[in-house]
Amino acid sequence: MNKLPISACIITLNEAGNIAECIKSMDFVSEVIVLDSFSDDDTCTIAESLGAKVYKQKFLGHIEQKNKALSFASMEWVLALDADERVSPELRSSILEIFRNKPNYDGYRFHRSTWYLTRWIKHGRFYPDKQLRLFKKDKAIWGGKNPHDKIILTGQFCDIPQDILHYSYENIFDHVKTSNNFSSIQSKQLVTSNRGQFPILKMMLKSHWTFFESYFLRRGFMDGREGLIIALISSFSMLIRYAKVYEISVSRSTLNSKKLKQE
């Protein structure tokens, strides 16, 4: 099979359990770029054994790291995946068809389906979770707000209703751990942007709304017990985000009071 003029870009940190299947699912691209944040497992060895070009960079932030990986791509087109993602067979066929007929757009957006505990999630906040991941290199840059990065495209894109397969969480502990880490990043951003006022009110309103939206409006209840667990953890994540905003503001006030007393 002739390889397509696509560079696959992946950022990694200790992804030895995922990286092989991720790379293998993109066997139709011309090159695979892996930008690693100094993993202490076999991530880089595995990636290199599968023909990937591996570079190393201390983690700069999700957006910054993905833009750095993008800078190493030599092909006209880029397919961006996380290490815990795969191109589904159906999506693979769609991409091949796009290039067989020549692309008519500057980017293509796909659905992302997450495997959670016992099933593929098809409702709630987890689906369709549209992701613009195939794009012309000179038309795109990673933007958004850490840790939720997104492609900023100069041009038009097309929706392709096929799935990126997402193996995001090994278990509930991993899900809660990730939510906790992300909430720390987001709370600091809220304080920095002066959007962290009245966090108690926001904790009550946003955490309740997040559950209602995920479980009822987006029909998370149709994903059974997994849908309920996801909605509850999403609500909890929103709650601790604003609780941490309060924690940061209290810590700063206490520190300022101590400085004034010392003066």
End-to-end CA distance of the chain: 73
CATH numeric code, 4-166: 3.90.550.10
- The DSSP bridge pattern shows strands 140-145 and 53-56 to be unpaired
Task: Return d(Cα 175, Cα 172) in angstroms, integer.
Answer: 5
Task: Return d(Cα 247, Cα 220) in angstroms, integer.
Answer: 31
Contact 226, 118 (CB under 8 A): yes
pLDDT tens figures, 16-75: 999 999 999 999 999 999 999 999 999 999 999 999 999 999 999 999 999 999 999 999
For the question of whether the overall pTM of this predicted structure is more than 0.85, the answer is yes
Domain ranges of the chain: 4-166, 172-262
pLDDT over 90 at 262, yes or no: no
**Residue 257 CB neighbour total at 10 angstroms:** 10
pLDDT tens figures, 65-105: 999 999 999 999 999 999 999 999 999 999 999 999 999 99
pLDDT tens figures, 216-231: 999 999 999 999 999 9
